[in-house]
Amino acid sequence: MNNQITVTSPLLPDLAEFTALLQEIWNSKWITNNGSFHRQLEKELAAYLKVPYISLFTNGTLPLITALQALRITGEVITTPYSFVATTHSLWWNGIKPVFVDVDPSTCGIDPTKIEAAITPKTTAIMPVHCYGKPCDVKAIQEIADKYGLKVIYDAAHAFGVEVDGESILNAGDLSTLSFHATKVYNTIEGGAMVMHDEKTKQRIDYLKNFGFANEVTVVAPGINSKMDEMRAAYGLLNLRQVDAAIDARRKVASAYREALRGLEGVTFFDDMPGVRHNYSYFPVFIDAKRFGKTRDQLYFEMKAANVLGRRYFYPLISEFSTYRSLPSATRENLPNAHRLAETVLCLPMHHDLTDHDIARVLTFFKK
């Protein structure tokens, strides 16, 4: 539909430039398995993201699953219910029991003050999420991990390019994973990556994403196939050149929303955090029905009827899905903040292509 405003829109490379790279791939006949575009994208992404090592994947779910395998995580893992289902599914696929801990409403990330109470002798790791690209309290989380000898794997699917005091948030913890899905700030259509601290781990991850092959005749582990192909790597190289401009355009949308919504009764939103380079991947607002005069769902459906498609990320909570709701940690009493956020959140349309007219259309639903 032409007049539809969607929650996001993919950053697309110039088609002629992409076609030229496709021609190169056609000429070379090397279309996957650590080809030259794959190697180049890893190099350029490591530099752009300010991380020492990165390994490309076919999506943002498989690096989560692989990270757990690589670190041999078992037993129980402490995680957040306020995320996309893939976070917890990655634990399930590894036969690990998720233990949900409530979130801090000021970041939507896991509340570090509630982690210790959830640790048992079976706990082996913490899997936090930099929700909406807002950095978790990585220092507090690391202190707990060090105290109890736990690994930390960050689901950084939303945190492309996010920095705190000039350092990439992706360097926190033992491993971090990214999603380059079409709906993300930076996309390779489908795609993802894992960030690690040292060359040995990078080597191991590269084996694991290629069935465990170390060479033609040696399989070092029961790996999986999650390699990014050459088409997507070439597409990713082109998108990397325009991602800063896209983030800048998003920043302007965020400013316009904030200016219009500030002081509006019953609507709260996040401001930039000091010292943080944000990527403006999402613009969540939280609706207090009594003060705003309508519920989040009334607003959501009203907008939808007018072709303005916000999304209720992340409602329902992961802990509410059938696979997880019988877990002892999945109760409402254990997760009051997460429930409140999930019931009041609406992510407004946020992408690089929104025009002033689009922004004004979104804001008509929030008249002061």
Q: Give the interface with ligand T4K as residue ranges (CB under 6 A).
A: 6-10, 59-61, 83-84, 86-87, 129, 155, 157-158, 179, 181-183, 192, 309, 311, 313
How many CA atoms are closer than 13 Å to the CA of 13, on its beta-carbon side?
A: 23
Instruction: Find out whether 365 and 299 touch, Cβ atoms under 8 Å.
Output: yes
Least distance CB 60 / ligand T4K (angstroms): 3
Beta strands 345-348; 283-287: pairing state: antiparallel
Nearer to ligand T4K (CB atom), residue 183 or residue 323:
183
Six token digits for residue 301: 């459906």
Nearer to ligand T4K (CB atom), residue 98 or residue 292:
98
Least distance CB 311 / ligand T4K (angstroms): 6
105/87 Cα distance (integer angstroms): 19
Instruction: Find out whether 310 and 303 touch, Cβ atoms under 8 Å.
Output: yes
Nearer to ligand T4K (CB atom), residue 304 or residue 332:
304
Nearer to ligand T4K (CB atom), residue 78 or residue 292:
78
212/155 Cα distance (integer angstroms): 23
Nearer to ligand T4K (CB atom), residue 87 or residue 123:
87
Which DSSP symbol is given to 362? H
Least distance CB 218 / ligand T4K (angstroms): 29
| Position closest to ligand T4K via CB | 60
Six token digits for residue 23: 């021609």
Instruction: Find out whether 157 and 84 touch, Cβ atoms under 8 Å.
Output: yes
Least distance CB 355 / ligand T4K (angstroms): 15
Least distance CB 123 / ligand T4K (angstroms): 21
Least distance CB 348 / ligand T4K (angstroms): 13
Least distance CB 63 / ligand T4K (angstroms): 9
Nearer to ligand T4K (CB atom), residue 11 or residue 292:
11
338/273 Cα distance (integer angstroms): 21
304/6 Cα distance (integer angstroms): 10
Nearer to ligand T4K (CB atom), residue 339 or residue 352:
352
25/207 Cα distance (integer angstroms): 24
Q: What is the largest CA-CA distance in the chain?
A: 68
Instruction: Find out whether 63 and 192 touch, Cβ atoms under 8 Å.
Output: yes
Least distance CB 83 / ligand T4K (angstroms): 5
323/311 Cα distance (integer angstroms): 23
Nearer to ligand T4K (CB atom), residue 59 or residue 168:
59
Q: Give how far Cα 368 sits from Cα of 135, 184, 301, 316, Å.
A: 31, 31, 20, 29
Centre a 10 Å sphere on the Cβ of residue 302 and count the other Cβ atoms it contains: 12
Centre a 10 Å sphere on the Cβ of residue 84 and count the other Cβ atoms it contains: 19
Nearer to ligand T4K (CB atom), residue 292 or residue 313:
313
188/235 Cα distance (integer angstroms): 6
Six token digits for residue 180: 């380059």
Least distance CB 217 / ligand T4K (angstroms): 32
